Homo-oligomer: A and B are copies of this chain.
Amino acid sequence: MIDPARLSLNLITVDHWSLAEAVARCAAAGIATVAPWRHQLDGDSARIIREAGLAVSSICRGGFFTAPGADADNRRAVEQAAELGAPVLVLVCGPPRDRNLAAARATIAAGIERLLPFAADHGVRLGIEPLHPMMVGERSAIVTLGEALALARRLDSPHVGVVVDAYHVFWDPNLESELAAADGLIAAHHVCDWLVPTTDLLAGRGLMGDGIIDLPRLRRLIENAGYNGPVEVEVINPALAELPAGELLADIKARFLRG
C-alpha cells in the first residue's frame, strides 16, 4: 500500500485549468504536492503554491540540448525550479537534428555537463528523463533507461539523476536489471498507463489501471533502488478535460492508492 502523501499531480494532466485553479483544487482534494510545467508559470505562481500550502516535486521541463539557445533557456529553467522550491528539473533532452543519433547524444551529454554546476549552485537536481522511443524524432534522443542511467553515472554528481516514467520505460526487457543497479540515481517517478489500442503518440495516455503497465511491480523495483519520494501522476490525454474537476481528482487519488 502506497503512502497517500507521496502523490504529486503533474499539472500537464490538468493543463486545461489555470495554475491557480489547479492549485486550489488540489488543496481542496487533499493532494499536497504538484509539479507544474514552465508554460503554466508566471511571476505569481510561487506565491500561489506556497499560500495554498502545497509542495512542488519537480518542474517540467528543461533540456532540448540539440536546439539553438538551449543553454540560456536551461539556466532560466533552473532558476524557475529554485524560485518554486522544486528539487528536480525534468530534462527532455531533445531530438537529433539530422540522421546522426550518436552526435545528438553527445551534444546532450555535453549540454547537461555544462548546466550541472549552475544547477548545483541553485540546489536543483537535473532529472534526465528517457522518453519512449516513439518520441525520438521530435523530443528526445535519450530513449532508454539504460542510456539515461549511464549518462547520470558518467556525470557522477548528487545533482543529476534519472526520471523513471512508467509510460516511457515499461516495455524495456532490461528494466529489472537496470533498476537493480540504479541505487541513488532515481530523481523522480511518473505514472500513467499504456492504453490498448494507443491511437496518439503524445496524448494517448491513460489513467492508472486502464492499460497494460504493471505499475505496482515498477514501483517495487524503484523502491528497491532506494527511491521513496513523490510519485507524480502525469497523464496527457485531452479526454480528461471532459471530466468535472472534483471527479477527476478523486479518481486520480483512488487509482493512485489502488496502484
Cα-based distance from A99 to B172 in the complex (angstroms):
13
Contact B212 A99 (CB under 8 A): yes
Contact B173 A105 (CB under 8 A): yes
- A247 CB to closest chain B CB (Å) equals 25
- A200 CB to closest chain B CB (Å) equals 8
Chain A interface, number of residues (Cβ within 8 angstroms): 33
Contact B212 A171 (CB under 8 A): no
Secondary structure dominating the interface of A? loop
Interface membership of A197, Cβ < 8 A? yes
- A237 CB to closest chain B CB (Å) equals 15
**Which among B99, B105, B170, B195 is the interface contact of A214 at CB below 8 angstroms?**
B99
- Given the interface pairs A143-B171, A144-B173, A173-B105, the reply to whether A197 lies near B137 with Cβ below 8 Å is yes
Contact B201 A137 (CB under 8 A): no
Instruction: Digitize A173-201: 1 where CB-to-B-CB distance is under 8 Å, 0 elsewhere.
Output: 11000000000000000000011111101
Q: Of residues 189 to 244 in A, which have CB atoms within 8 Å of B's CB atoms?
A: 194-199, 201, 211-214
- Closest chain B residue, CB of each to CB of A200: B201
- Closest chain B residue, CB of each to CB of A147: B173
Instruction: Digitize A116-140: 1 where CB-to-B-CB distance is under 8 Å, 0 elsewhere.
Output: 0000000000000000111011100
Chain B residues within 8 Å of A213, by CB: 99
Interface membership of A94, Cβ < 8 A? no
- Closest chain B residue, CB of each to CB of A175: B101
